[in-house]
Structure 1
């Protein structure tokens, strides 16, 4: 665990400094006039990673309630440290993941790039896709990365190889979201954010019909394989949500999309 300073001047705990800065850049693109939050709202952050979303929201809305879920121990320890750093007593963290059923599964943890960690590490099998994602990230990196223009593209393969080096298999606990809603006695969810590297459709499938009544807004990062983007979009439309789908400039050459939904 180390500290890094974000472009907004905030110092946070992280595992990889550059990745943390990139995640912050990614999350700042979540909020425009489509998704709206207020003080005391209840947020569920599925796939919280090190808690950058919770830190940002706690700074803007000091009374906001955030429940953050991260199943990988090494990442969770940083998330826990950042919940304390936030000074928001309503920013809580849980050391398990969310899926469509209660089980223990094997996840792949990438120590050099924790945000890539997934139960579906085959999504990173394509070296070409990884290089294109890396290229997009570099081209759309935070503005204070002045040095990015000096990285020659022929070195990208080296950097990508390092990102996925020394991967580990980790056994983690998962629960369906409906069970968590019951355990936490939640009566409303103002924002459900899902970013779990290929498992987003399982999170959606783990929500009982009656639970959809209390969910008002969603932000979902979707890896569009096997028609998952259209599947989730159609499901949410049938539930009465208005949908907005974007692909960030950094991800234009990938299958990754951000889906925003509100009632």
Structure 2
């Protein structure tokens, strides 16, 4: 929180932070980027026991935002691949900047949404750059290109995926629901930031049931009344 207050006093729109191991991270000062940085790097939401990232992992990051998780993962995944999906142009450009800034060759930024459809999806924009959603929230929206997990796996010849990370403001339900059973067998671990739509539990409960039916063991962690984390592992 103190860091966030400090950033609000900075006149520059963007700053570059440097970690102890020399990773450079470009963030926007007048945004929630610093909060997202804390979620990934300090609260260990994506570094739970059993979900450690390994050197040769194949990772799919759905809702990559500006690349904070991808940069975190790149510290450990040196010889694997980190595929990053980010549909919003401004976030995607920051993701690409952060990748290029560190000369990381195994992060692959993709300017696409992941959904249940192969062509286009409408995303409603929020003042919080990390909270754009497929669910209507105001009148500002963009139509973006989209793919499915199945199509992506086919096009990139993904036979084994060590980790799928999903943080896409409510789209997690249709994404998981649209994955064919035989493609679930290619995925070892899934981390989802879930969002309760209109505070209804049915979608969340069905999501857990779907994962368990696909032979995943699940653990959950509540963050607030309407969101939390799901950790699924075979």
TM-score, normalising length: structure 2: 0.84
Equivalent residue in structure 2 for 1:107, among 123, 129, 153: 123
CA contact (8 A) 2:23 2:102 kept: no
Q: Give the aligned partner of residue 161 of structure 2.
A: 189
Q: CA deviation at 1:228?
A: 1.7
2:18 counterpart of 1:2: no
Distance 1:6 1:114, change over 3 A: farther
SS in 2 for 1:230: helix
In the alignment, which residue of structure 1 is the partner of 2:132? 117
C-alpha separation in 2, matches of 1:187 and 1:216: 11
**Corresponding residue number in structure 2 for 1:228:** 203
Q: Which runs of 5+ in 2 are unaligned?
A: 1-12
The residue correspondences of 1:89-238 to structure 2 (distance < 5 A) are 89-110=105-126, 112-122=127-137, 168-225=140-197, 226=200, 227-238=202-213
Aligned match of 2:226: 255
Alignment partner, residue 76 of structure 1: 92
Deviations 1:217-255 (A, max 9, x none): 00001112341211111111111111110013xxx2x31
Report the alpha carbon displacement of residue 109 of structure 1 after superposing the two structures with TM: 2.2
**How much does 1:200 deviate?**
0.5
> How much does 1:16 deviate?
4.3
1:46 and 1:6 mapped to 2: Cα distance? Answer: 25
Cα drift, residue 117 of structure 1: 0.9
Give the 3 Å change call, closer, same or farther, for CA 18–7 of structure 1 in structure 2. farther
Q: Distance in 1 between matches of 2:140 and 2:28?
A: 15
| Higher strand fraction (1 or 2) | 2
Q: CA distance change for structure 1 residues 15 and 106 in 2, over 3 Å: closer, same or farther?
A: farther
1:106-132 CA deviation, whole Å, 9 max, x = no partner? 21223x42001111144xx8xxxxxxx
Shift in Å, 1:83: 1.6
Cα distance in structure 2, aligned partners of 1:85 and 1:60: 18
Give every structure 1 segment of 4 or more consecutive aligned residues whose post-TM-superposition deviation is greater than 3 Å.
6-11, 15-18
Q: Could you tell me how far apart the structure 1 residues matched to 2:136 and 2:76 are?
A: 34
CA contact (8 A) 1:245 1:260 kept: yes
1:35 paired to 2:83? no
Q: 1:49 to 1:245 in 2, by over 3 A?
A: same
Q: Which has the larger share of helix? A: 1
Instruction: Specify the SS of the correspondent of 1:218.
Output: strand
| Alignment: residue pair count | 215
Deviation readout 1:169-205 (Å, 9 max, x if unpaired): 2111111110010011011110001111011011112
5+ unaligned residues in a row in structure 1: which ranges?
Answer: 126-166
Query: Residue deviations 1:58-77, cap 9 Å, x none?
Result: 12332231000011111111
Tell me which residue corresponds to 2:8. none
Is the alpha carbon distance of 1:63 and 1:171 closer, same or farther for their aligned partners in structure 2, counting shifts above 3 Å? same
